[in-house]
Amino acid sequence: MASPEERVGEALRRKKLTVSAAESCTGGRIGDKITNVPGSSDYFRGSAVTYSNESKVALLGVDKATLERFGAVSEQVAKEMALGCIGLFGSDVSVSTTGIAGPTGGSPEKPAGLVWFAVTDGDRIATEKAVFPGDRESIKEAAALFALEMIITFFARN
């Protein structure tokens, strides 16, 4: 059975599309997974690891007011990250992740393991949130895999 990153590549090749990633809590794992597939340079434009709020604003154009109102770990920021990533890389599709990898930094409203995701083609946008159990490494890994699956689901729906 093909891995999620192989299935993403197959879907992108079939549709003749390119992809990019805006990563916060995943720290580059999405880009790493995609580039593990031979020939991924045909469809992968790049990944921006925008871990700080400052980098989200400077590189992706996330609105400071959105960050202040909703916080970095929010649906609104995930959307703005994904849309900004398309502009940054000129890709057809982008995926974003923003979350709390833990073990610290969580709160009752936003616990460690919470991740918001967005996938967009610039017109349509899909968002999801998930809370992953485990330590920092397992949360980052689970979030990267979830993001890849979200890209596949986005293509299935659109």
**Residue spans per domain, the chain:** 4-157
pLDDT of residue 105: 84
Query: Residue range 19-42: average pLDDT?
Result: 97
Mean of the per-residue pLDDT values of the chain? 95
The residue among 18 and 103 whose pLDDT is bigger is: 18
Side by side, which strands form the sheet with 125-131? 44-49, 19-23, 93-99, 114-120, 125-131
From CA 34, how far away is CA 144, in angstroms rounded?
A: 10
**Taking residues 30-41, what's their average pLDDT?**
97
Average pLDDT over residues 108-131: 95
**75-101 per-position pLDDT tens digit:** 999 999 999 999 999 999 999 999 999
- The rounded distance, in Å, linking the Cα atoms of 46 and 140 is 19
pLDDT > 70: percent of the chain: 99
Task: Check pLDDT > 70 for residue 158.
Answer: no
The tokens for 116 are 């918001």
Instruction: For residue 140, list its beta bridge partners.
Output: none
Q: Tell me how far apart the alpha carbons of residues 33 and 28 are, in angstroms, rounded to a whole number.
A: 9
- List helix spans (H) across 24-158: 29-35, 53-60, 64-70, 75-89, 136-157
Q: What's the rounded Cα separation, in Å, for the pair 8 and 14?
A: 10
Supply the pLDDT for residue 104: 83
pLDDT in tens, 49-58: 999 999 999 9
- How far apart CA 38 and CA 32 sit, in angstroms, is 12
Q: Residue 136's pLDDT is what?
A: 95
Identify the band that residue 72 occupies on the pLDDT scale cut at 50, 70 and 90. Answer: very high
Tokens representing 86 are 């398309």
Residue 91 CA, chain-centre distance (Å), reads 14
Three-class SS state of 129: strand
Architecture (CATH level 2) of domain 4-157 = Alpha-Beta Complex (3.90)
Distances (CA, A) of 27 to 47, 98, 158: 10, 10, 28
